[in-house]
């Protein structure tokens, strides 16, 4: 037997064991310590984000049923076009609408900025457009619109069951059927908690009851005005502003509510259209009831016509006449000149 530690090599010495060579031992403690150099980690090269172009990010104004509008961000290689149907992020789900307007987020700026200091880029809306709508998506939305008539009928039955003083005017399904919004009008606040529970059991979805005013109801439903055309608030008016009886007084209109009220029973929005013109005209025309000295003597102003630029006068004998405003001003100027000529010199 070979002693432990022997080994055989396949050399030409006839298989004799090779002598073991001593391994040199280095005195580690006597060696000076090596300096430790800390190598910095290699730099992490991150690719810069691609530049945002008009085809990458758009801000879309999307319109839904009832003239409801909201802005969304749209990121896609192909830019969206107007009148195109899209699927957007909605309350706990998705909804379908059509694009009313589209602008490039990179180039679109807010004129003057929100603080009226300088032009600044518009911050993209937090909600996004998920994708373009397919023909099947549009058909599904039309089917939901057809079901809303039945929703209104059943809701009105439940309202009568609970004896609530409210008028159900409109219903709107969310495209994914995760929410049903019912609009109603009422003279005062209504406790509809029991009604909501019955509606949730009936329609098997989340219910939202929203109280609106009669002006908003007319805007959602539409109709014809006294002029025979479609209601302004439905056709083109972007925002409904307050209308007071003072607007009719400034324009010399009848104060009979039946003659200056619209289909909703409130004062017509068109009373605001010419109001500023009449306010400026009051500075040029004489005040109604004022007594003027004209070529015909002392006359009282009984009225004036802004469009014809004329003034109606009545003298002391009760005779009336209508004279153009410029002619009346010339008469007053000539009379002032005659009085200055006959006045004694200082």
Task: Give the model's pLDDT for residue 281.
Answer: 85
Q: Could you report the per-residue pLDDT of 200-232, keeping only the tens digit for each?
A: 999 999 999 999 999 999 999 889 998 899 999
- DSSP β-ladder status, 120-121 and 69-75: unpaired
Helix, strand or coil, per DSSP, at residue 63: strand
Specify the pLDDT at position 346. Answer: 47
* Structure confidence at residue 344 (pLDDT): 58
Which is it for the CA torsion 190, 194, 198, 203, positive or negative?
positive
Average pLDDT over residues 247-269: 90
Considering the chain, what is the average pLDDT of its residues? 82
Q: What is the pLDDT of residue 11?
A: 42
pLDDT for 45: 45
Number of C-beta neighbours around residue 70 at 10 A: 16
Q: Give the sheet arrangement for strand 291-294, strand by strand.
A: 291-294, 297-305, 310-315, 320-324
Q: Which two tokens stand for residue 132?
A: 């373009």
| pLDDT tens digits, one per residue of 44-93 | 444 544 444 444 799 999 999 988 999 999 998 889 999 999 999 998 89
The Cα–Cα gap between 297 and 6 comes to 150
Structure confidence at residue 122 as a pLDDT band (50, 70, 90): confident
Give the whole-number percent of the chain exceeding pLDDT 70. 78
pLDDT of residue 282: 83
pLDDT band at 151 (very low <50, low <70, confident <90, very high): very high
CB neighbour class for 180 (10 Å; exposed up to 12, middle 13-18, buried from 19)? buried
Beta strand ranges found along 76-194 (DSSP E) = 85-90, 93-104, 109-110, 120-121, 129-132, 167-173, 179-185
Q: What is the pLDDT of residue 240?
A: 86
**170 pairs with which residues across the strands?**
183
Compute the distance between CA of residue 169 and CA of residue 159 in angstroms, rounded to an integer: 12
Q: Output the pLDDT for position 38.
A: 43
Q: Structural domain boundaries of the chain?
A: 57-133, 140-212, 225-279, 291-340
Which residue reads 């004036």 in tokens?
A: 304
Question: What is the rounded CA–CA span in Å between residue 196 and residue 198?
Answer: 5
What is d(CA 232, CA 268) in angstroms, rounded to the nearest whole number?
A: 9
Range 268-294 average pLDDT: 89
pLDDT higher than 60, residue 276: yes
**pLDDT for the residue numbered 119:** 65
pLDDT of residue 86: 96
> Rounded mean pLDDT of 89-118?
79
pLDDT for 170 equals 93
Question: Pairing mode, if any, of strands 310-315 and 297-305?
Answer: antiparallel
Fold for 140-212, please state it: GMP Synthetase; Chain A, domain 3 (3.30.300)
């Amino acid at each position: 037997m070979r002693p432990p530690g022997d080994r055989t090599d396949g050399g030409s010495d006839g298989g004799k064991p090779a002598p073991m060579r001593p391994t040199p031992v280095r005195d580690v403690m006597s060696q000076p310590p090596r300096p430790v150099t800390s190598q910095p980690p290699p730099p992490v090269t991150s690719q810069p984000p691609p530049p945002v172009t008009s085809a990458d990010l758009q801000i879309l104004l999307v319109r839904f049923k009832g003239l409801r509008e909201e802005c969304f961000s749209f990121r896609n290689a192909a830019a969206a076009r107007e009148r195109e149907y899209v699927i957007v992020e909605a309350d706990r789900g998705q909804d379908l609408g059509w694009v009313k307007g589209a602008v490039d987020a990179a180039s679109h700026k807010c004129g003057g900025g929100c603080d009226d200091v300088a032009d600044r880029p518009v911050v993209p809306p937090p909600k996004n457009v998920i994708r373009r709508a397919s023909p099947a998506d549009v058909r599904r939305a039309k089917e939901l619109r057809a079901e809303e008539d039945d929703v209104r009928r059943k809701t009105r039955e439940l309202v009568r069951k609970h004896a609530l003083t409210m008028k159900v005017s409109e219903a709107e399904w969310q495209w994914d059927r995760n929410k049903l919004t019912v609009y109603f009008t009422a003279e005062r606040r209504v406790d509809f908690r029991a009604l909501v529970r019955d509606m949730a059991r009936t329609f098997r979805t989340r219910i939202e009851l929203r109280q609106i005013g009669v002006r908003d109801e007319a805007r959602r439903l539409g109709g014809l005005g006294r002029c025979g055309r479609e209601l302004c608030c439905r056709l083109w008016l972007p925002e409904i502003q307050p209308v007071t009886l003072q607007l009719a007084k400034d324009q010399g209109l009848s104060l009979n509510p039946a003659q200056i009220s619209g289909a909703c029973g409130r004062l017509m929005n068109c009373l605001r259209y010419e109001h500023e013109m009449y306010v400026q005209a009051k500075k040029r025309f004489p005040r109604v009831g004022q007594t003027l000295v004209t070529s015909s003597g002392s006359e009282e102003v009984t009225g004036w016509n802004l469009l014809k630029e004329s003034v109606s006068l009545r003298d002391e004998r009760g005779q009336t006449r209508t004279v153009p405003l410029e002619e009346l001003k010339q008469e007053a100027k000539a009379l002032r000149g005659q009085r200055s000529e006959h006045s004694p010199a200082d």
